[in-house]
A = this chain, B = another copy of it.
Amino acid sequence: MARFMKAAVFVEPGRIALEERPIPEVGPLDALLRITTTTICGTDVHIMKGEYPVRKGLIIGHEPVGVIEKLGSAVRGYQEGQRVIAGAITPSGYSNACLAGDCAQDGAGTTHGWKPIGGWKLGNTIDGCQAEFVLVPDAMANLAPVPDGLTDEEVLMCPDIMSTGFGGAESGGIRIGDMVAVFAQGPIGLCATVGARLMGATTIIAVESVQERMTVARHLGADHVVDFRKSDAVAEIMRLTGGRGVDVAIEALGTQQTFEACLRVLRPGGTLSSLGVYSKDLTIPLGAFAAGLGDHRIITTLCPGGKERMRRLMDVVASRRADLKALVTHRFKLKDIVAAYDLFSHQRDGVLKVAITP
């Protein structure tokens, strides 16, 4: 095995560069994956811009599809050469948070066992997977074998996009017959739309303004697509629901405007399921909140991870219930990842997600 690899590194705010790095040593609980396909996330763009702080020199990326190159000495149940994915969130499985069911807030290593966003390690607190190799911690909790017959691109959305988007639908507690609004139809919002559809919502209203995304939203299951540049989205949703409002509103952008609009379109007793990564304090408008008396729920969800989650999501792909192929709009080689960031971060050319291969 080679000693060095190529990797996309956060150099400083505004700059990601491809560098040469040593291939990591494998600890007893780790697995080393040889990456076959990965992708860039909106969060990576936040990192690149310095809006979400990580240490300089970190390898970024948290959506790995690959092959097991080497297993830690204490890892059982896998074989080198197996095709696997790992989630964006790689829970230890053994922290108090994990054992309480809060894997994404994994506090392994802390005194009390809880840490905000602690489950997100790859490309955040440890080196990530926009590289030729990546070390997956706590491999036994995180490696999910890819079923035969599924391509890399077919499972590429599982580690983050599907898991987060579906998570928004799940946290909303969507039931058969629900009316649901989804604000923003980027990759996460589109997966929230798909999740709402999978859970039985019968009126799904997607809000977006980019033409390509509106088209994909309709294709993936939105019953109505509201262009917020052409009409007042709140008024339009109230009209479409006969003045009642939706049971669940999903925020998939991360802005005050969409957060607030979610509250305004909720029926009393409804749920705002929030997926966005916010960059400022949020305001809850008194009226839309019924002064605190509307039996509202606001629930935030960080991408669920762990191998069981990945298994389920790959089952969804294999079942052909949801066809997310349309999300991969562009393909790049790892050596051209800087160009990929440029395209993706500027949302040029109708890009939704890019596939990166070595």
Residues of A within 8 A of B (CB): 27-29, 52, 73-74, 76-77, 91-94, 96-105, 107-109, 111-118, 120, 138, 140-141, 166, 169-170, 175-177, 195, 198-200, 202-203, 223, 241-245, 254, 267-269, 274-286, 289-302, 306-309, 311-313, 315-316, 318-319, 321
A99: contacting residue among B93, B112, B175, B292, CB under 8 A = B93
Q: How far is the CA of A104 from the CA of B294 in the complex (A)?
A: 8
Contact: B141 with A94, CB < 8 Å?
yes
Interfacial chain B residues near A52, Cβ < 8 Å: 291
Among A94, A109, A284, A297, chain B packs the most CB atoms within 10 A around the CB of A94
A202-B319, A316-B177, A319-B202 known; A94-B93 Cβ under 8 A: yes
Contact: B302 with A295, CB < 8 Å?
yes
Q: A169-B176, A176-B316 are in contact. List 15 more A-B contacts (CB 8 A).
A: A28-B28, A94-B140, A99-B103, A99-B306, A114-B268, A116-B268, A117-B290, A118-B268, A120-B293, A177-B312, A198-B200, A202-B312, A276-B292, A282-B286, A298-B298
Q: How far is the CA of A91 from the CA of B200 in the complex (A)?
A: 25
Q: Give the number of copies in the complex.
A: 4
For the residues of A in contact with B, the DSSP-based class is: loop
A100-B308, A114-B244 known; A268-B200 Cβ under 8 A: no
Contact: A279 with B274, CB < 8 Å?
no
Interfacial chain B residues near A315, Cβ < 8 Å: 177, 202-203
| A-B residue pairs, 6 tightest by C-beta | A177-B312, A93-B93, A105-B268, A202-B319, A112-B244, A94-B141
Interfacial chain B residues near A319, Cβ < 8 Å: 202-203, 223
Contact: A313 with B177, CB < 8 Å?
yes
Q: How far is the CA of A355 from the CA of B96 in the complex (A)?
A: 28
Contact: B278 with A321, CB < 8 Å?
no
Q: How far is the CA of A298 from the CA of B273 in the complex (A)?
A: 11
Return A61 CB to nearest CB of chain B, in Å. Answer: 18
Q: How far is the CA of A169 from the CA of B93 in the complex (A)?
A: 26
